[in-house]
Chains A and B, each alone.
Chain A
């Protein structure tokens, strides 16, 4: 069974902390994505990557950065966490064809206090 694994289900961090959210996929997919989900706003794309060491900004990249040193791993970094970054964060991967959509991880619920 193919999988996208996010390292933490729940995280509580303090304002100003540097936060790392890790995502690993075992499907040898080229493409990986980070979304955040907020009520009434759906899923919004933060960053994506089509290859190792490659990254592209999505719709809401401010306050975030990413790292993709290996094909299977895509990390989201909050350089200095703020309360407006409290959200559900979802990692996804895809092989390129959209016929079967993206495969999502279970999500990380991040609370910044």
Chain B
């Protein structure tokens, strides 16, 4: 039972353009949502989070949007850089029970 879904296994964008990574969830009890970034042969690193009481959180080039009615969140990266090429995992949590999506591989082309 996948409660967190990332339906796009991969995404390719041009350097300088916007990258939009999407995530859907099914459990309305989730109260915190997070994005992690993972390079090959490394563990995931925390990128940005958002509480369920907010609809937007911004940190530099990264913005996460939450649409609770649609049970959907997205990560926007503007402008995209080649160093952003990695696998991005969406995660959602309820009382520290964290569920992860399958990941989206982002490739930013120079």
| Chain A residues within CB distance 8 Å of chain B | 4, 9, 31, 35, 40-45, 90, 92, 94, 96, 98-107
- Do A106 and B93 touch (CB < 8 A)? no
What's the least CB distance linking B71 to chain A, in Å?
Answer: 17
At the interface with chain A, which of B14-22, B36-44, B60-68, B74-82?
B36-44
Decide yes or no whether B83 CB sits under 8 A from chain A.
Answer: no
> How many B residues touch A, CB cutoff 8 Å?
23
| Chain B residues within CB distance 8 Å of chain A | 4, 6, 9, 32, 34, 36, 41-46, 49, 51, 89, 91, 93, 96, 98, 100-103
- Do A99 and B43 touch (CB < 8 A)? no
- Do A99 and B49 touch (CB < 8 A)? yes
- Do A98 and B101 touch (CB < 8 A)? no
B contact residues around A103 at 8 Å (CB)? 46
Contact of B91 among A4, A90, A99, A101 (CB under 8 A): A101
What's the least CB distance linking A59 to chain B, in Å?
Answer: 9
